[in-house]
């Protein structure tokens, strides 16, 4: 994805026309970055993409948090395909062992409840529907740290680094990943993967990354910046391109496409847009996992806002260490419009990392909601030579 290095005049005018947006977007302390991609269709409904950026800075680190779940999901499905073992699929029972410190097991269990069975497919559903961290850990371990990062580089993302579980494991422990096995419902072993180890530690391509004026470790306040040098790193253009590659595979060059089937793409699309309780995945109670639980742009994660039936948002989000991000594709059947929107900002007024005192609810989420609405309103009125046929994004989908 080629992106302009200077701010888009269009985005500059959209942001500055709204005082609520301008107040945050123009203040450097919020470290705001955005990619807004217009999508234009030709007479055959083939899309072309025109990116606009604002404050995009590849040298400015942000913590991607749960954004890293999207590449892990993609590469887990690809790995299943590359096993060339028809008995091992995303529905096959998976067991996780232990072989080093900071590893936790998931023993083999027969599928008494299909939603709760340990499978690649169920882990992916949990990650995409409610951003489940334990499910992410299981697939990080299935991939292994070194193969995961090598494959990202092969796909054209040399600056991406996915090096950590979402667990209190140190850098060395995260280089070790668990033994994995797949089984029939009666317990017979179909495939066994030994524990893996990455002998070469990864660090940020930005060099040493220090953030904040202090950080909290347990109950201790340490008056030094937090060190993100060995943390996960996923640039905004990379995660935007990964989402585009799922929704519009033909728009990405063949070497940048993972080995996925049409069924894989349909599966991913369903759970990227579905709300937890409309998904048919029965373990998520609406009271806790409301419609907008994982929809920051446009809805602002507001539990009182129902999803609009004419608007589908396919997205992945991140929320950690004061960083708030959402990478989304909007399909609007009412106005016959569509676009990609990726944004990240930093809301940590006290400058202390890990103290849990971040302005997500007061600044970050309202800002992202307003940003999504502002771009959606602009797109609803933007002239187009050809309106998109959005049938594929609104067609009824079976529960998978």
DSSP 343-362: EEEE--TT-EETSS---III
pLDDT at 280: 80
Contact 301, 283 (CB under 8 A): no
CA dist list (Å): 159 to 162, 238, 323: 10, 9, 19
Q: Is the pLDDT of residue 4 over 60?
A: no
Report pLDDT digits (tens) over 131-151.
999 999 999 999 999 999 999
Report pLDDT digits (tens) over 363-384.
999 999 999 999 999 999 999 9
Contact 67, 316 (CB under 8 A): yes
Report pLDDT digits (tens) over 153-174.
999 999 999 999 999 999 999 9
Q: Per mean pLDDT, which range of 11-15, 231-235, 286-290, 396-400 is the poorest?
A: 396-400
Q: How confident is the model at residue 400 (pLDDT cuts 50, 70, 90)?
A: low
What whole-number distance in Å separates Cα of residue 130 and Cα of residue 65? 13
pLDDT at 399: 52
Cross-strand bridge partners of residue 222: 215
pLDDT at 1: 53
Cross-strand bridge partners of residue 318: 325
Strands 352-353 vs 214-217: parallel, antiparallel or unpaired:
parallel
CA dist list (Å): 29 to 12, 60, 92, 130, 342: 18, 12, 47, 29, 19
What whole-number distance in Å separates Cα of residue 158 and Cα of residue 47? 26
pLDDT at 171: 96
Cross-strand bridge partners of residue 316: 327
Mean pLDDT value across residues 74-81: 98
What whole-number distance in Å separates Cα of residue 194 and Cα of residue 126? 25
Cross-strand bridge partners of residue 317: 326
What whole-number distance in Å separates Cα of residue 120 and Cα of residue 266? 15
- If one compares 50 and 3, the residue with the highest pLDDT of the two is 50
User: Rounded mean pLDDT of the chain?
Assistant: 94
Nearest to 230 by CA among 152, 187, 175: 175
DSSP, residue by residue, 233-290:
B--HHHHHHHHHHHH-GGGS-GGGS-S--HHHHHHHHHHHH--TTTTT-TT--TTTS-
Residue 98: CB atoms within 10 A of its CB come to 14
CA 162, distance to chain mean position in Å, is 12
Contact 120, 80 (CB under 8 A): yes
What whole-number distance in Å separates Cα of residue 163 and Cα of residue 201? 9
What whole-number distance in Å separates Cα of residue 141 and Cα of residue 145? 7
Taking the domain 9-394, which CATH number applies? 3.40.710.10
Residues 6 or more apart whose Cβ sits within 8 Å of residue 218? none
What's the distance, Cα to Cα, between the start and end of the chain in Å? 32
What is the reported pTM? 0.96
Report pLDDT digits (tens) over 324-363.
999 999 999 999 999 999 999 999 999 999 999 999 999 9
Residues 6 or more apart whose Cβ sits within 8 Å of residue 374? 14, 18, 21
Residues 6 or more apart whose Cβ sits within 8 Å of residue 236? 33, 35, 56, 62, 325, 327, 342, 344
Residues 6 or more apart whose Cβ sits within 8 Å of residue 342? 34, 35, 36, 236, 239, 240, 243, 325, 326, 327, 328
Token match 């580089």: residue?
153
């Amino acid at each position: 994805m080629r992106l302009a290095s200077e701010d888009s005049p269009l985005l500059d005018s959209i942001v500055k026309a709204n005082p609520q947006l301008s107040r945050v977007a123009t203040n450097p302390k919020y470290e705001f970055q955005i990619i807004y991609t217009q999508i234009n269709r030709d007479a055959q409904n083939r899309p072309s993409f025109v990116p606009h950026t604002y404050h995009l800075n590849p040298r400015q680190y942000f913590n991607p948090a749960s954004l890293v779940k999207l590449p892990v999901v993609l590469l887990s499905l690809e790995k299943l395909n590359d096993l060339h073992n028809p008995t091992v699929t995303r529905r096959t029972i998976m067991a996780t062992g232990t072989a080093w410190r900071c590893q936790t097991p998931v023993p083999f269990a027969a599928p008494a409840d299909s939603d709760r069975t340990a499978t690649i497919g169920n882990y992916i559903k949990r990650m995409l529907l409610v951003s489940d961290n334990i499910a992410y850990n299981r697939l990080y371990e299935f991939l292994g740290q070194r193969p995961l990062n090598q494959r990202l580089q092969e796909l054209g993302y040399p600056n991406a680094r996915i090096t950590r579980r979402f667990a209190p494991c140190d850098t060395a422990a995260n280089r070790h990943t668990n033994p994995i096995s797949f089984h029939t419902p009666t317990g017979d072993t179909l495939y066994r993967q030994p524990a893996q180890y990455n002998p070469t530690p990864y660090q940020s391509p930005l060099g040493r990354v220090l953030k904040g004026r202090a950080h909290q470790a347990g109950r201790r306040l340490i008056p030094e910046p937090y060190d993100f040098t060995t943390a996960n790193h996923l640039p905004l253009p990379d995660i935007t391109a990964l989402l585009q590659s799922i929704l519009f595979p033909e728009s990405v060059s063949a070497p940048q496409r993972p080995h996925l089937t049409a069924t894989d793409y349909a599966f991913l699309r369903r759970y990227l847009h579905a709300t937890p309780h409309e998904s048919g995945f029965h373990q998520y109670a609406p009271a806790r996992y409301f419609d907008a639980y994982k929809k920051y742009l446009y809805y602002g994660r507001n539990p009182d806002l129902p999803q609009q039936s004419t608007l589908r948002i396919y997205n992945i989000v991140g929320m950690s260490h004061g960083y708030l991000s959402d990478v989304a594709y909007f399909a609007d059947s009412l106005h016959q419009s569509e676009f990609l929107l990726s944004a990240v900002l930093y809301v940590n007024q006290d400058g202390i990392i890990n103290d849990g005192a971040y302005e997500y609810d007061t600044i970050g989420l309202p800002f992202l909601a307003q940003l999504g609405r502002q771009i959606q309103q602009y797109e609803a009125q933007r002239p187009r030579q050809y309106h998109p046929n959005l049938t594929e994004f609104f067609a009824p989908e079976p529960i998978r």
